Amino acid sequence: MSDPDLTLVDDIRAASRLMVRELGFMESTVAATDHPPSAVHAIVEIGLRGQMTALQLGQILHLEKSSISRMVRKLIDSGELQETIDPGDARSKPLCLTAKGRKTLAELHAFGRHQVQGALASLSKAERRTVRDGLLLYAHALEAWRAAEADMQPSG
């Protein structure tokens, strides 16, 4: 990779770090909740995708089983999630949002939309589309790279 490419890479890395900080992910809690970032993501993903098992949630969030177990237990204890019984497989316990969890999800969406709308307010319509298109392109490229790296790892 040539020096201009390294400058581009370093600029993208710097912008990524700044975005993480500005979005509040360095804080112990996120999006005006009492929850850490992983729990906020769990609430959002279950809210968007519907009920799922802890294993499925761990795969989506790229978290290990022990981390997911602790986080899910805390979200159940705080009243955000509940375990249900799968009638087809009593061993499976899909997770779903409780009424409190759905309220938290609505608050998370409101907080996030307000934050993004505020950030986009000073940009033109074309610039807003550029931001959206660039973020989607970058996110999908990161996802594809991670999947390719995982495919190259020896299975143990």
pLDDT tens-place values along the chain, 156 residues long: 556 699 999 999 999 999 999 988 888 888 888 999 999 999 999 999 999 999 999 999 999 999 999 999 999 999 999 999 878 887 889 999 999 999 999 999 999 999 999 999 999 999 999 999 999 999 999 999 999 998 887 765
Q: What is the CA radius of gyration of the chain?
A: 18
* pTM across the whole model: 0.86
The CATH class of 31-122 is mainly alpha
| pLDDT number for residue 156 | 57
- Per-domain residue ranges of the chain: 31-122, 124-156
Instruction: Return d(Cα 148, Cα 156) in angstroms, integer.
Output: 17
